[in-house]
Structure 1
Amino acid sequence: MSALNSSADPSAASLPALRPAASSRLLHLDGFKAVAAQLIVLHHLSAYGPVAEAVEELLPTLMAWAYQYGRMAVQVFLVLGGFLSARALSSRGQLLEGSLAGLIARRYQRLALPFMAAVLLTLACSALVARWLPELVPAQVGWGQLLAHAGLLQGVLGFEALTVGAWYVAIDLQLFALLAGLLAFSRGLALPRSWRRWIGPALVALLTAASLLVFNRDAALDNWGVYFFGAYGLGALVHWLGLLPQRRLGLMLLAALGLAALLLDFRERIALALATALLLAWLQRRHEAGVPALTPARLQPLLAHLGTHSYALFLVHFPILLLINALFERHELGDGWPGLMAMLAAWGLSNLAAVSFYRWIEAPAGRLRLGALLMRLWPRTLRA
């Protein structure tokens, strides 16, 4: 997540109630991302291919749990995404800086370039394993489908996903655009600057409530960001509430909103999102107060490593899963322990592949200056 650390808003100094966000590495966020990414990998390992079927014979309870609940770790990423986006766009509660089009273009670049590299890698592996795993590979791929994926519009346009987790990448861009759009709208109002600084977070709170109470209860909307904005908005509001002296009261109101949504229609995913947001608020307060991290010092580099490579792992693990399942099927290794060894190999190789993917694809993609080129090509009306 790109960070906009500029503090050029001259009104910031006039509001002593706001405290600057901590600038050191947020190790607790690495912990959230590391655990959530590993759970999502476990979910997919339990859901696809003969390896999953083999391990299910040996560990049926664990596999059932991973299949049912591992996917819910996406809610953790949604909450963290909202928190980090709000922190990047309004680190000290200041008005949004920069053009809306430029911000969305940079976010698209950081998401879409690694994502399309992963899609192409998945298609290459699919061609290799189609003989043994026809049920796990697309029957055919057209240019329209590829272009829809490149635009992160595959779900909206009704195309079949070419890799697991494609929906999340598309939704992430929509959520960021919604958040940035609300902040840009409040910035442009003909009102005093001090008012506009609060209108943006207030609009985010309203959309969060609307998502939790209305949109998220309609599964037909699950290709649109408003369906998921409840969890994303909880994370964003945790950031802004953390800048206020009335943090505790704000968090109590946030918890009340989440509980009201659960009383109206209990959803395990929303319960997890609410719990994540409240835990994040507590850990963030400890971090700002300088309380030592809960993680032992010797494990902190590993946690930071896993957190840094979480998006790469999310993108690259499915091609590894395909290859390991194809080898398992090709050699007819049987059920039970061979399946468990194959699953552990897929998990370990996925984490190793994530390191290379991050180094050679994700990190360089984030450094490209494509946003500036797009801004030159787009009409002036989009730059305001």
Structure 2
Amino acid sequence: MKVVVGATHGAGKPAPSQFGLINLLKAGAAQLIVLHHLAFYGPMSDYARVLFPSLIDWLSGSARIAVQVFLVIGGFLAAKSLAPSGHAGYAQPLHAIWRRYAKLAPAFLAATLIAAVASAWAAKWMSHDSISAPATLAQLSAHALLLHGVLGYPSVSAGAWYVAIDFQLYALMVLALWVAGIVEGKRPLAWLMPLSVAFGITLSLLYFNLDSDWDNWAPYFFGSYGLGLMAWWASDPRRKPGIAVLLMMMALLPAVAGLALEFRSRIALAAVVACVLFLFGRTRISADGRAWRAINGMGKISYSVFLIHFPVCLLVNAVFTRFVEPDPLLQAFGMLVAWGFSLAAGAAFHRWVEEPLGRFMDFVAGQLVVRDVHIPRPLPTRSGGVSLR
């Protein structure tokens, strides 16, 4: 796997490089999710459908599987941060789970509160199924704990389920690494984690993912997440090609079996994304050039766009319902306005909410350590044992 080296800037400093493909996938998937919700939740799309019936129908239906891109990338990056070499063991699992919660939950709760206010405001100007009932304290508390789906509370905002599932999957992976490390003891087994993840993918795709009653729980989605985990381990440039292909096949064969049992376009997409990440996911691309700067910027704010777009779209729908004629062209223009405002709001939310909250949570964690309310630091994952190369 070759790494693209960026050009140098004036003072001889190398241009910053990023995982360009990952940012491209995240940026594209985020746009499809915004457009999906714009098409699925009216009333603007209800009027605009007569102009582009096939496009609106596709966006309101099939486009939702773009979330699989985030699931696979989530697994890919989780493997990078938690177990880059694929070895078992994690010294302080609670610390890692807390860090993930602190990264996801504060911005999510802020966006949830904004969505609750937006729903109340939109209800004054229109009556539509997309408007949530007034949020209760118990409902908001369940959202804050990322337990709203598990506890049976309706989501205040579209896409809220994904944040809770991402947290569950990450926590599951951390605990799996920790337990596997205990099982290994002093005799590291280099294949333990890949085999465990391959078994998890198989169980997910052949059982849990076939039953929608599990869709509030991590096992339902672990097939896609596990494909991302295996893609990172298999794409390690230090591995022999035969071992790399074997690791990837351990992930893909359960996916093929699952598709043969019952074809699911979302699983087919997850398998394709995993293969793309296996081949090119580690490639770093220079940030030079307007196109890549834009792509990297969109990838950077994709979580904020995901969080904030629904209340923005809801308010634009309300404004166009209340003040604009129900003309298909005007309502289609309203959809474009909502899309543009969602991106702008995502950039603002990232800068003024997500990043400051992240810094605040880091500060709180640091203060707890200084005052001996100890949040232990994770030790490096085990790198010894039988080689997977």
TM-score category (smaller protein): 0.7 to 0.9
Q: Which deviations, in whole Å up to 9, do the C-alpha atoms of 1:141-178 show, x marking residues without a partner?
A: 22111110100101111111100101000100000011
For the residues of structure 1 that align with 2:335 and 2:187, how far apart are their CA atoms?
56
When residues 142 and 68 of structure 1 are mapped into structure 2, their CA distance, relative to the original with a 3 A threshold, is same
Quote the residue 2:300 is aligned against. Answer: 308
For the residues of structure 2 that align with 1:255 and 1:150, how far apart are their CA atoms?
35
For the residues of structure 2 that align with 1:186 and 1:250, how far apart are their CA atoms?
18
Quote the residue 1:175 is aligned against. Answer: 169
Quote the residue 2:61 is aligned against. Answer: 68
When residues 310 and 193 of structure 1 are mapped into structure 2, their CA distance, relative to the original with a 3 A threshold, is farther
Quote the residue 2:5 is aligned against. Answer: none
Which residue, 300, 309, 324 being the options, matches 1:317? 309
Quote the residue 1:147 is aligned against. Answer: 141
For the residues of structure 1 that align with 2:246 and 2:195, how far apart are their CA atoms?
15
Measure how far apart 1:139 and its partner are: 2.5
SS at match of 2:281: helix
Does the CA-based 8 Å contact 1:79-1:233 persist in structure 2? yes
Measure how far apart 1:49 and its partner are: 2.0
When residues 151 and 377 of structure 1 are mapped into structure 2, their CA distance, relative to the original with a 3 A threshold, is farther
241-250 or 31-40: which moved more?
Answer: 241-250
Q: How many residues align?
A: 353
SS at match of 1:156: coil
Quote the residue 1:33 is aligned against. Answer: 26
TM-score for both structures, normalised by structure 2: 0.85
For the residues of structure 2 that align with 1:24 and 1:187, how far apart are their CA atoms?
34
Alignment of 1:140-219 (within 5 A): 140-195=134-189, 197-219=190-212
Q: Which deviations, in whole Å up to 9, do the C-alpha atoms of 1:250-294 show, x marking residues without a partner?
A: 323432221111001111111111111111111136x27xxx78x
Quote the residue 2:385 is aligned against. Answer: none
Q: Which consecutive unaligned segments of at least 5 residues does structure 2 have?
A: 1-15, 380-389
For the residues of structure 1 that align with 2:255 and 2:127, how far apart are their CA atoms?
43
1:238 counterpart = 2:231: yes
Quote the residue 1:272 is aligned against. Answer: 269
Does the CA-based 8 Å contact 2:42-2:317 persist in structure 1? yes
Measure how far apart 1:97 and its partner are: 4.4
The Cα RMSD (Å) is 2.4
Which residue, 77, 95, 110 being the options, matches 2:103? 110
1:259 counterpart = 2:256: yes
Measure how far apart 1:59 and its partner are: 0.9
TM-score for both structures, normalised by structure 1: 0.86
For the residues of structure 2 that align with 1:254 and 1:222, how far apart are their CA atoms?
21
Does the CA-based 8 Å contact 2:86-2:193 persist in structure 1? no
337-346 or 202-211: which moved more?
Answer: 202-211
For the residues of structure 2 that align with 1:56 and 1:93, how far apart are their CA atoms?
48
Measure how far apart 1:31 and its partner are: 0.6
* Aligned sequence identity (%): 41
SS at match of 2:149: helix
Which residue, 341, 344, 359 being the options, matches 1:352? 344
For the residues of structure 2 that align with 1:142 and 1:183, how far apart are their CA atoms?
37
Measure how far apart 1:131 and its partner are: 1.8
For the residues of structure 1 that align with 2:339 and 2:213, how far apart are their CA atoms?
33
Does the CA-based 8 Å contact 1:32-1:76 persist in structure 2? yes
1:132 counterpart = 2:129: no
Residue type matched to 1:103 in 2?
Answer: A
For the residues of structure 2 that align with 1:263 and 1:96, how far apart are their CA atoms?
34
When residues 105 and 371 of structure 1 are mapped into structure 2, their CA distance, relative to the original with a 3 A threshold, is farther
Residue type matched to 1:365 in 2?
Answer: L
For the residues of structure 2 that align with 1:62 and 1:339, how far apart are their CA atoms?
15
Does the CA-based 8 Å contact 1:49-1:133 persist in structure 2? no
When residues 253 and 201 of structure 1 are mapped into structure 2, their CA distance, relative to the original with a 3 A threshold, is closer
Measure how far apart 1:193 and its partner are: 4.8
128-137 or 368-377: which moved more?
Answer: 368-377
For the residues of structure 2 that align with 1:209 and 1:371, how far apart are their CA atoms?
37
Does the CA-based 8 Å contact 2:368-2:375 persist in structure 1? no
SS at match of 2:191: helix
For the residues of structure 2 that align with 1:167 and 1:210, how far apart are their CA atoms?
22
Quote the residue 2:244 is aligned against. Answer: 247
Measure how far apart 1:377 and its partner are: 6.3
For the residues of structure 1 that align with 2:91 and 2:127, how far apart are their CA atoms?
47
Residue type matched to 1:217 in 2?
Answer: L
For the residues of structure 2 that align with 1:320 and 1:209, how far apart are their CA atoms?
39
Does the CA-based 8 Å contact 2:301-2:347 persist in structure 1? yes
246-255 or 345-354: which moved more?
Answer: 246-255
For the residues of structure 1 that align with 2:104 and 2:340, how far apart are their CA atoms?
24
Alignment of 1:18-97 (within 5 A): 25-97=18-90
Q: Which deviations, in whole Å up to 9, do the C-alpha atoms of 1:74-119 show, x marking residues without a partner?
A: 1111000000011110123355444111111110111110000001
Measure how far apart 1:69 and its partner are: 1.3
For the residues of structure 2 that align with 1:372 and 1:152, how far apart are their CA atoms?
23
SS at match of 2:18: coil
Q: Which deviations, in whole Å up to 9, do the C-alpha atoms of 1:182-239 show, x marking residues without a partner?
A: 11111223533531x4323322221111101111111110010000000000000111
